[in-house]
Structure 1
Amino acid sequence: MEASNQRQAEQVWRRGEHLAELDGLRGFAILIVTLYRFGKEFPSETMLGKLIGGVLSQGDRGVDLFFVLSGFLITGILIDGKDRPHYFRNFIARRCLRIFPLYFCTLAAIVIGSRFVPELADMFALPLGNQFYLWTYLVNIKMSVENQWCFGYLDHFWSLAVEEHFYLVWPFILYHVRSARMLRVAITVAILSAVSRIVYVLISHHGIAADVLTIFRVDALLIGAAVAVMARNPQSLERLRPWLPIPFLSGVMVVASGLVFKKGWFTLPHTLWPMIWACILVWLMTMYRNQWMARFFKLAALRSLGKYSYAMYIFQNPLIPLMSVVLTATTLTSVTGDAVSSHLVYIGLMFALTYIAAIVSWYLLERHFLKLKKYFPTNSAV
């Protein structure tokens, strides 16, 4: 019994405690997504270029990690605050304070700026022509209907639309579901989402909707939600932990096969990657504080990236055309001497600029709205 108590005391997370490693996990997500974004045109003429480009191309799976983390965090907040007064008001208000200011200020800056700077209007012609869907978080629905990426440098806003739809629906479902059935509901809906996506792919020959439509991508959020439900019962996590290598290694092996999924066949990676990330999340919650994975995700650099991850995600694509006047990988070739090194320098510089822009956004805009969260309290510290 004494050993069991000591083990529990040394574990990374207990209910009601902030999990610092979660900040690092979020930082890792924005790290690989941002590297992917700036490395999409990495030269593949050499073996080294192919290797680096291949690694960077997997960075878009950081979006799946964001989904898992969002599902986990939001579900935890909702469960912990279910019996508190103003359940819906507090949740919605806190989400609005976190998401809306930067999102709408970014859109407003593009719209207003394009009125006075013709070059800006040219850069963002596609999103400006589809403004309604941006202002109303319907980007992914427009893409699905048109079956094309039709927002240019704001195409990545599709994932923000998916999360917003989840925030609007999931709280009402949880509120009307008994605690004993929450896990079953989360897993069932996740399975239905994955199956419906596979059926859609078979019918449509993989339309864009399979990648962006909320009903086809919500499985990742619900996998995170399932972890949050189990986390409210530590014994469930302990019983699950010995089995984690099975879904983790199975997912890794299937994804690593590559050839089967090269063209997104059946879109199984959309479910397998969230399973891999969820396994890592559970490991972080049940392992000892001094284990290597816990130490890695507690690195100050990763936690800092996690703190500014939302703004980094918003800014990374728009910065590409905005900086193209003075900074491109091609212009750097005359300095570095070859395409591979010029792209590496470009990625590094753009990453740094995105990080700096996110910090500025935090201090000038975001943190002032976040201070208002104190008027809408929750029970959850995670």
Structure 2
Amino acid sequence: MRGRSSTTTNRPLQIPRMTRPATFFSIQALRGIAALMVVLFHLRIVEGKYGQDGNLLGAMFAYADSGVDLFFVLSGFVMTSIAAGSYGLPRNAGDFLARRGWRVLPLYWFYTTLVVALMLLMPGMANSAYQDQSILASYLLWPQAQLPLLTVGWTLIHEAFFYLLMAVAIAFARERQLPWLLLGWAAATLLAHGMLGAGIAPWAAVASSPLSLEFIAGGLIGLYWRRLPVGFALPLLLGGAVLLVAAMLHLAAAYPEHPPVLRRALLFGVPAALLVLGAVRWEHARQPRLPALLLAVGDSSYSLYLGHVFVISATGRLWQASGLNHAPWQHALFIALTVVVCVIAGWLSWRWLELPLHRWTRTRKPSARTLQAAQE
């Protein structure tokens, strides 16, 4: 179904630069798919820890965290789209950062606080590998040698870096210069990554990470997607999906552990970029109907992404205690039920935490431009 409630904060992206705004439900659908991929990635780990007699989630799902790469491309697309028309004014950069900060930080702080509470009150329930991390750095999304206390927050560190660079562009650049700035950023990233190597400071590792290429690819798609001939849209969408699955299968067969980050950015970033480009161009031209459930998962994808680790940890322990963790059908039931519980918990978090946080800032009816800029 294409109709959505006007009260959602994660409403489908509206692009402001066209006579008839382009509304992309496909962005929400891809967000939902990306979040579910990350859920399956962590479910595979828990199944291996608590299950018996082999895993149903095979080696391919060790690379289901490629949903993160899809998130990064989507983020780049959204950021250059909502920033259209706002370049060259420092105050717009401040507004951009304030909106991004309010969109990302309060819910992240809430779930990080849950980790801190578990560490203090129930140390056995928390991941002891990260108990030496700086709590302040974790809250501030400052790069550290290890993952932040809320492990999935590592992706938000890369997001924050991207937001900062976008804010600089909004403050001082002209919109026509943006493609060259993005390409220059890509070249500088590759040069720094090749020169710096391993053993550098955590902040330098983030700044030189090839994962930035995925944001850049999404940003360029946000600028040029209209130029793609409509006939190429669906083949690119399907080709991106096939290539993403093929990359996961290839890495499952070729690498016992995750590949170097540059190879990851290429193997996962290119298919993700094709998916996003094909999806938005196809939807704009054909306006297909997308499953309402998948759109609902997309609406709550940020809450699902931040909160699913708590659900999976709890259900895994309950599964082990039940003793129903041996037969394949028991594994299948555990996986299916945990995915359902994760989705429900994510939706509840979106409905009762994330959505009120956004409503709290609305003291008056926002303008159309504000609504467009608040999208992600």
On whether the aligned pair clears a TM of 0.5, the verdict is: yes
> Which residue of 1 is the match for residue 214 of structure 2?
220
Indicate whether 1:354 and 2:342 are aligned.
yes
Q: CA deviation at 1:337?
A: 4.5
How many percent of aligned residue pairs carry the same amino acid?
A: 20
CA distance in 2, matches of 1:158, 1:40: 18
Aligned CA-pair RMSD: 3.9
CA distance in 2, matches of 1:241, 1:210: 39
Indicate whether 1:60 and 2:54 are aligned.
no
Matches within 5 A, 1:268-283: 268-283=263-278
Unpaired runs of 5+ residues, structure 1, are: 1-11, 144-148
> Which residue of 2 is the match for residue 142 of structure 1?
144
Residue 23 of structure 2 aligns to a residue in which SS?
coil
Q: Please say which of residues 246-255 and 210-219 is displaced more in the overlay.
A: 246-255
CA distance in 2, matches of 1:133, 1:267: 26
CA distance in 1, matches of 2:204, 2:36: 21
Q: CA deviation at 1:66?
A: 0.5
Q: Is the 8 A contact 1:21 1:294 kept in 2?
A: no
> Which residue of 2 is the match for residue 123 of structure 1?
126
Indicate whether 1:179 and 2:175 are aligned.
yes
> Which residue of 1 is the match for residue 6 of structure 2?
none
Residue 222 of structure 1 aligns to a residue in which SS?
helix
CA distance in 2, matches of 1:183, 1:79: 12
Q: Greater share of helix residues, 1 or 2?
A: 1
Residue 208 of structure 2 aligns to a residue in which SS?
helix
Indicate whether 1:344 and 2:346 are aligned.
no
- The amino acid of 1:267's aligned partner reads L
> Which residue of 2 is the match for residue 318 of structure 1?
310
Q: Give the TM-score taking structure 1 as reference length.
A: 0.75
Q: CA deviation at 1:308?
A: 0.8
Match of 1:238 among 225, 229, 232: 229
Unpaired runs of 5+ residues, structure 2, are: 1-13
Q: Is the 8 A contact 1:35 1:59 kept in 2?
A: yes
Change (3 A) 1:319 1:89: same
CA distance in 2, matches of 1:345, 1:212: 40
**CA distances 1:215-247 after superposition (whole Å, capped 9, x unpaired):** 30211111111111114xx2x233994895999
Q: Give the TM-score taking structure 2 as reference length.
A: 0.76
- The amino acid of 1:135's aligned partner reads Y
Change (3 A) 1:42 1:210: farther
**CA distances 1:43-62 after superposition (whole Å, capped 9, x unpaired):** 59xxx957741232221000
Q: CA deviation at 1:320?
A: 3.8
Indicate whether 1:304 and 2:292 are aligned.
no
Q: CA deviation at 1:342?
A: 3.1
Residue 101 of structure 1 aligns to a residue in which SS?
helix
Indicate whether 1:97 and 2:102 are aligned.
yes
Q: CA deviation at 1:273?
A: 1.4
**CA distances 1:60-114 after superposition (whole Å, capped 9, x unpaired):** 0000000011111012111243378941233223222221221112223333455
> Which residue of 2 is the match for residue 133 of structure 1?
137
Matches within 5 A, 1:139-218: 141-143=143-145, 149-151=146-148, 154-194=150-190, 196-197=192-193, 203-204=197-198, 213-216=206-209, 217-218=211-212
Q: Is the 8 A contact 2:297 2:347 kept in 1?
A: no
Q: Please say which of residues 104-113 and 360-369 is displaced more in the overlay.
A: 104-113
Q: Is the 8 A contact 1:261 1:267 kept in 2?
A: no
